[in-house]
Structure 1
């Protein structure tokens, strides 16, 4: 048996693994019930089984249909986005949502080779205002908006 598409095969393994783990862990700790009288674990079980079935279908397809190989993993964007999210989490309480969101967008923008400061500043301003409107004003989350010195 030869794998024609490594990318599809690994995606299928990922789907099947998550689906199986979800069905085994999340669904079994709650009562299942029946389709007529569903328990709390019925929907997670069905969702996990369906995800595992999709994974098996993608794995089977990878054995038949020729596909691309795995793309080269670029670590700089991956690590800079991870660092931007960690920095946002650290800065949120002391510096507030506005400043933290601006720093998040600017630090995340540095991961792109097409970085332009003006566009990143405009995006940061728009997203930080949008985040405050959504999370603080509309949803009423108790997040600090500005730095508290």
Structure 2
């Protein structure tokens, strides 16, 4: 028995709604400027419109394709990714960038347990090194790499 691909339909509608909300919010609250001098709301509005278009494409693909009746919506991956992102936000200020990157990488890896421990540790080290190169050396931001809250 076949039915519509409910995952793509729900995901597409969510992304389209989120993108439209961002676009309308940025247009209503920030200046768009002109083509010669772009305002602070032009990029979020454009990104919101692009996100809405991608969401509509995903929705259309889910509506036109069929999935087997046994395919179910899995909640474990997005829950672990949200938990990892929240942990990053809560730990970057007191502990620094490196522990926050380690935490978000490890927690997000629980969404799909196909990563082995050595590969996960190497990913944490590489991401921390890239963050240092980009944010501290490249952009000159004053982000503490390792901090201690006491």
Band of TM-score, shorter chain: 0.5 to 0.7
Verify the 8 A CA contact 2:7 2:62 in the aligned structure 1: no
Matched pairs, number: 143
Q: Which residue of 2 aligns with 1:80?
A: 80
Q: Which residue of 2 aligns with 1:55?
A: 56
CA distance in 2, matches of 1:117, 1:134: 26
Q: Which residue of 2 aligns with 1:106?
A: 106
Matched, 1:67 2:35: no
CA apart distance, 1:98:
1.2
Cα separation, partners in 2 of 1:23 and 1:98, compared to 1, 3 Å: closer
CA apart distance, 1:121:
0.4
Structure 2's unaligned 5+ residue stretches are: none
CA apart distance, 1:96:
0.9
Structure 1's unaligned 5+ residue stretches are: none
Cα separation, partners in 2 of 1:20 and 1:69, compared to 1, 3 Å: farther
Larger-Rg structure:
1
Matched, 1:92 2:106: no
Normalising by structure 1, what TM-score? 0.64
Q: Could you list the per-position Cα deviations for residues 43-101 of structure 1 after superposition, in whole angstroms to 9, with x for gaps in the alignment?
A: 848x849x56x839x65994xx4433695222222222211111111111111111211
